[in-house]
Structure 1
Amino acid sequence: MDRRIERSIDNTRERIDNTKERLDSRIDNTKERIDNTRERIDSRLDFEINPRERFNEIKNNSATYEYFERLKKDRTFFNNDEPFTKRLNNVSKDLNLNVSFSNKTTVSEETAQAIVLASGNLGLIYFTDWSNRMTYEQIEDAFPGLLNGLTHHEGIGFVMVKSEIYDTIVFSDDDVLYLDSEEYYGNHFLEKYGENIINKLKRTDSFDHIPDILVNSEYDIENDEVYAFEELIGSHGGAGGNQQYPFILYPNDWNLDEEIFGAENVYKFFMGEMEKSWNRK
């Protein structure tokens, strides 16, 4: 009797253990399916929320890198009025990526919120609906044709924006400069603005509160004139013209041995020499 009971108990324990093992296995499989489903959902949500980040991942793939490098030379890829997402869809089709991009950010003229500031022949454009500096791609989707219209205006010399794909880009008519690598495609349109213009733009590009679109007027070399965006007799603030050649009037016992670059270094120069003068008294 006792043996039968013990066997029954052992069999019951075995069945319980087997059942528990099967349940644990099912639970693990269910957890795995849930995790996979979450991953697919997160992937879709991420794609819908920020498709260009996904596209940057694709771009950085070695198989598509050369394609994007070729696009840098294709000025029509940038200089057109189509929303950027439409151009990305064309790229996706060419590369057989099976990725579709939708544009839900186009802003009408009536609802667009912008601050436009002028400093001589320098224009600063901020779009206040965006908390961070807008990228070239975002601007092209939200305001199709705006950059193309600015860069081809006869009174504008060049426009600078930040790209998610190619970093900082400077446009002038159909010509392009990739600022970080200093690669021109087309005419070297910045040369007439002085030998330090690229370094000046890089310095400006590093500012925390740089505008979404930086606009500089055309520079008429023959008449040595720029087109001020303010109603001024003279002009300063941008590049081009006599304003590119400032001077400092200082005592002849001060020491200025090298070129000063940037307003902050003008301040440092004055403070340094003034402190030396005070210490000599």
Structure 2
Amino acid sequence: MTGSRPRTAPPSAPLTGPSAPCWVNLMTRDLKSAQEFYTATLGWTFRPGKLGQEFSVARRDDVPVAGIAAVAPAFRVAVAWTPYFAVQNADVAASRIRERSGTVAVGPLALGKGRGALAADRDGAVFGIWERTEAATSPPAPDDHSNAWLELRTRDAFDAAIFYGQVLDWATGRPGDCEVSYEKDQVVVDCGGKRLARISSGAVEAAPDPLVRPHWQVHFPVADVAATVSAARQYGGSVVEQRTQGHGAEATLLDPDGGLFTVTDIRSPAAEGT
């Protein structure tokens, strides 16, 4: 990543409170192609974003679920899905990232109705932070957290939990903040009573395989994994990994531009992996 300023804003109404995941964004090369693929694969519709022609907001059942920005070539960033986390103060969070050997590549800068930054943790997993600075002008989306959940594949789950806990104010005990628990050598993140993320160990920073390197993996719940995989292949995507386990099935896919994501009929990161 470079110090340029990709306009990849979260929505006007984040779905969760401070310290929680609030948005996911795809940085891609071709907006029209990405829209066609995700419409066919995940049933999304799109509306233009307020930041220019290269940005659009994906909706499911008229609820904002993700952003897609065709900025990868202009800003020399990899095609990738990136999660954003809500913070009380973007400048403070950015300072904490740097103090703990992470990297702030872009920002903090004005993004929509707030301020945000694009960063990487000390093992190289990319994520964003976002602080709301203006009041919402429309009702928030339903807070059921069913549109996506996250998995961090990293070198050491416990070390990563400490990093994100200190940066994002996890486990403070304050109402609305996220809490962490340790289960079977993994860390599970609960926000507002919902399990939204899981952190697992074993990634290798120098691995050539992007699935093995530290990264945040975005999981989109779907009703039928097999049908979603079939649609993805039909519209130019490919399957990286597919598996069935006790609680359901999931498939990790590449979109035609190389964006990596997972579709799953497992409804929670707590159930996945058990």
Q: Normalising by structure 2, report the TM-score.
A: 0.25
Q: Relative to total residues, which structure has the larger strand share, 1 or 2?
A: 2
- Structure with bigger helix share is 1
Structure possessing the higher relative contact order (Cα contacts under 8 Å, 6 or more residues apart): 2
Taking structure 1 as the reference length, the TM-score comes to 0.24
